[in-house]
Each structure stands twice: as C-alpha cells, then as structure tokens.
Amino acid sequence: MIISILGNGCSKCKTLEQRLVALNEEHGFCFELQKVTDFNEILKFGVMMTPGLVLDGTLKSVGTVPNDNQLLSWIKETSA
C-alpha cells in the first residue's frame, strides 16, 4: 500500500506524518509513506487545502488531520 501526504510541509502535514509513522510502528502495517510537495501533483487530486491524504490512489481527507481511529479504519479497509 502507498500512503501519500499531499502538502508542502505545514504543521498539519508534519502531524499527519508523525501519526502515520506511530500507527505503523504500533500495528506493523506494511505501507510506503510518500510526501507529495509538487503543487501540480497536489492539484491533480483537486486538493486546495493541505494536508491531503491519499491511500492507494484514493483521496481520503483534505485540510485536516484525521484522528487515529479514522486512520486505522482507512488503512485496514485499503489493505484488505
């Protein structure tokens, strides 16, 4: 699974990255974490507010940092 964080490194982007890394360490998921900072790539997903969160090509959230339960649910759903 590929998880992409769309954003230029704002505080929300960094928080989302930290949460995903922590969840991965805690639960032992198998995913590749990518940071997408290129504005044109971000726009391809229609994201106008960062961070955007993409799991295996599907946009899951925009402009917010989802809580851990929501992140876990999306990761489990996508990896099934």
Domains of the chain, residue spans:
2-79
| pLDDT at residue 9, rounded to an integer | 87
DSSP state of 64: S
Q: Which CATH class is domain 2-79?
A: alpha beta
Q: What is the pLDDT of residues 9-41, one digit of tens each?
A: 899 999 999 999 999 999 999 899 999 999 999
Tell me the C-alpha distance between 76 and 80, whole Å: 6
Tell me the C-alpha distance between 51 and 5, whole Å: 6
Structure tokens at 29: 């998921």
Residues designated catalytic: 10, 13
| pLDDT at residue 36, rounded to an integer | 97
| pLDDT at residue 17, rounded to an integer | 96
pTM for this prediction = 0.93
Q: Is pLDDT above 90 for 79?
A: no
Q: What is the pLDDT of residues 34-74, one digit of tens each?
A: 999 999 999 999 999 999 999 999 999 999 999 999 999 99
CB 6 within 8 A of CB 43: no
